[in-house]
Amino acid sequence: MRAIAAGCVVVGLLTGACTSGSDPRTAPEIPAASAEDQSSPAASSSPTASSAPPVAVPRPPRGRNDRAGRVGFAEYVLQAWIYALNTNDPEPLVSAGGRRTCAGCRQLARELRTREQEGWYVELSGVRVSSRKVDASGRSARVTLSVSLPESTSYHDDGSFRSTNPAHPRSTFAVEMTRTGRGFRLDSFGLS
């Protein structure tokens, strides 16, 4: 499998772990870190504080080396990415790479450290997956999720409004993985 380039297509949400290339998502909702939809501060005349509930840490699945297992792991990686954006904590995503650092993970961790130092985060929920494509060869696989990213909002750590990020209804979240033991290792991920 070819590794996903860690070069970037900026989608307003992340400037580090993106790819150039083509891959997409819109039907069943992936439960995001925040289960409730937030209202857009852009719709009101004054900024409002975020009232997002605490964010749950996603748990990696124990899938078999079949289509369902690969898709389950790719959707976990998507959840871990959403969690990272909502919390500035890349650990669940980074740890999915095992002893190796996945392509895109260092850039994500660096970007989130910068955001944490600057005192802001992104609140993203309601991401939907419309299709899943699996290309596998032996223990390696690439899963491409067609995703719809709704409008998101950035907040300062004190909960005050920072900015609104536009929706990206036709995006691709690609995950490359290798089967190891009873699970998968994240080799790379990217959003385009």
Give me the CATH number covering residue 150. 3.10.450.240
Q: Which pair of tokens denotes residue 99?
A: 């002893």
CA nearest neighbour of 175 among 86, 100, 90, 105: 105
User: For residue range 52-97, what is the model confidence (pLDDT) as tens digits?
Assistant: 445 677 888 877 889 999 999 999 999 999 999 999 999 999 999 9
Q: Which pair of tokens denotes residue 22?
A: 């083509």
Whether residue 1 lies inside any domain: the answer is: no
Whether residue 46 lies inside any domain: the answer is: no
Whether residue 61 lies inside any domain: the answer is: yes
Distance of CA 62 to the CA centre of its chain: 19
Whether residue 114 lies inside any domain: the answer is: yes
Whether residue 15 lies inside any domain: the answer is: no
Whether residue 49 lies inside any domain: the answer is: no
Whether residue 26 lies inside any domain: the answer is: no
Give residue 50's pLDDT.
42
Which H/E stretch holds residue 134?
A: strand 128-137
Give residue 49's pLDDT.
40
Cα–Cα distance between 136 and 134 in angstroms, integer? 6
Cα–Cα distance between 51 and 49 in angstroms, integer? 6
CA nearest neighbour of 89 among 78, 81, 97: 81
Please tell me the total count of domains within the chain: 1
Cα–Cα distance between 123 and 48 in angstroms, integer? 13
Q: How many CB atoms lie within 10 A of CB 118?
A: 12
Q: First-to-last CA distance in the chain? A: 18
**Which residues make Cβ contacts (< 8 Å) with residue 75, sequence separation at least 6?**
30, 129, 145
Per the CB < 8 A criterion, the answer to whether 19 and 125 are in contact is no
Give residue 34's pLDDT.
31
Whether residue 50 lies inside any domain: the answer is: no
In the chain, the percentage of residues whose pLDDT exceeds 70 is: 71
User: For residue range 116-126, what is the model confidence (pLDDT) as tens digits?
Assistant: 999 999 999 99
CA nearest neighbour of 122 among 5, 1, 13, 4: 13
pLDDT, averaged across the chain: 77
Cα–Cα distance between 24 and 150 in angstroms, integer? 13
| Tokens 């999720």 belong to residue | 145
Q: State which residues form the domain around 171.
A: 56-191
- pTM (2 decimals)? 0.75
Low-confidence ranges of the chain (pLDDT < 50): 1-53
